[in-house]
Amino acid sequence: MNIDKITISTDDGDCPVLVLKPESKASLPAVLFYMDAGGIRPASVQMAERLAAAGYIVLVPDLFYRFGPYGPLVPEEVFQGDVMAILGPLMATTNNAKAAADTAAFINYLDSRDDAQSKFGAVGFCMGGGMALTAAATYPDRFAAVASFHGGSLATDDPNSPHLLMPQMQAEVYIAAADGDVLYPPEMAERFEAAMGSAKVRYRAETYTGARHGWMKPDFPVFDEEAANRGWCELLALFDRTLR
């Protein structure tokens, strides 16, 4: 496994990025990995390695670069304190629209590589779910697939709400929701799925019964190994079907 630490210049500054690739000289599909609010940490790298090992170039940008140096954060410690006092200042530096703007620079970087194919996948977790969906809809000709795991606020009255962009979406979409997630309640899921249906987006949406918000993250207290393995199977099946 090759893991490179690079810097990609965006309109708002220099973004630290991890690029992971399996040992291969072949041209490979690329996947953009949109982080959760816990930022870049060992668990993020672990997940990106799993994805890269399946045969993908994986780009993991630190979307908190506007904030400056931080952490690494330890979720178990964060959840024992005032979560928003710790994460709020970091989260305030980015949003769906900013992440989509940053994605232009990430795409340019991937286009500069001779080992990355031209159609991409995107996956986001928690905060990153809406970012991944927004990016894929903002650059519809570049993304073939996008997945959101326990993503929140996907259909709100915010002007940056992802559901408003569904008429632009060309990628196949997979939505994996947590059971009883206050950040993505049933009425919001219904609104988001209605937007995808109206726009004739190819999608599948599932609620993981018994899984809680953040279940995919191996360093979260709510990590659910059985549900996470199911999520990985769905994610890899989506990317294998659309990117290969």
Q: Residue 100: give its domain's CATH number.
A: 3.40.50.1820
pLDDT at site 71: 82
The domain of 37 spans 2-243
Total domains, the chain: 1
User: What does pLDDT average to over the chain?
Assistant: 96
The sheet with strand 2-10 has its strands ordered as: 2-10, 13-21, 57-61, 28-34, 116-125, 143-149, 172-178, 203-208
Burial grade of 209 (CB within 10 A; 0-12, 13-18, 19 or more): exposed
pLDDT tens, residue by residue, 89-134: 999 999 999 999 999 999 999 999 999 999 999 999 999 999 999 9
pLDDT digits (tens, 9 = 90+) for 212-240: 999 999 999 999 999 999 999 999 999 99
pLDDT above 70 covers what percent of the chain? 100
Read off the pLDDT of residues 16-45 as tens digits, 9 standing for 90 and up.
Answer: 999 999 998 889 999 999 999 999 999 999
pTM: 0.96
